[in-house]
Structure formats: structure tokens, C-alpha cells
Amino acid sequence: MLSATSAIAETVVIDGIAYTLYAESKQATVVAGETKYTGCVVIPESVVYNNGTYSVTSIGYSAFGGCSSLASIEIPNSVASIGNYAFQYCSGLSKGNIAIIKIGEKSVKIVVG
């Protein structure tokens, strides 16, 4: 039997990135995948799944947590929120690097390390 929430949100992997897709709002959240993210990850502004286009608007709680081999990440302007602990224990990111990420109309300063 399907639950009511299964029709509303679905978690899928597209091009190596796990997303929870929300059918009603056509929005997507980057979430932790079954395998850890490595190397350079580029999050797109939108993804296509089952003939639907979803805007990537958030990075979920602990989405990249523990991804020690994550070297860099590009976050598009479409991302309006980043969950707590999203990059916790990402030791592969250069310590002490400062990144300015534009999220919508705001700029956020992130210090890694």
C-alpha cells in the first residue's frame, strides 16, 4: 500500500547526485546518497525526471556530511537554503578556504575548516 507522502516526494539519483523531488512544487533538495560524494560536485539549477523539471532549491541536512573525499562543490543561485551539518566532516575540502556563495539575493560567506 502506498502512503500519502510517497506520491508527494520521491528520492532519486540523477547524474550521481541524490535528490528528494517534490511533485507538487516541482522543487528538489540535494540529500545524502547511498555512496559518499567524491571529487568535484556540480549541482545543477534544475534536474529532469520522468518528464518533469525540478528546480534545485536546497541542500538538505547532512547532505555531504562525512564525504571526506569531496574536493569541491559548485552551488547554483537556485539554492535558497543549506541544511545544518551539510558539509560536516568534509576533510577533503581545503581547510581555511573561504567561499562566497550567492543564494538568491544574499551572499553567504562559508569558511571551510
Quick: pLDDT tens for 43-78: 999 999 999 999 999 999 999 999 989 888 888 888
Summarize pLDDT for 77-111 with one digit per residue, the tens: 888 888 888 888 888 876 555 555 555 555 565 65
pLDDT at residue number 91: 81
R_g (Cα) of the chain, nearest Å = 14
Query: Cα–Cα distance between 14 and 45 in angstroms, integer?
Result: 13
Residue 3 confidence class, pLDDT cut points 50, 70, 90: very low
- Of residues 6 and 35, the one with the higher pLDDT is 35
Closest by alpha carbon to 37, among 10, 63, 11?
63
- The answer, as to whether pTM is greater than 0.75, is yes
Q: Which triple of cell numbers denotes residue 113?
A: 575548516
Closest by alpha carbon to 21, among 31, 13, 11?
11
pLDDT at residue number 77: 84
pLDDT at residue number 11: 96
* Beta-bridge partners for 29: 20, 58
- Of residues 72 and 18, the one with the higher pLDDT is 18
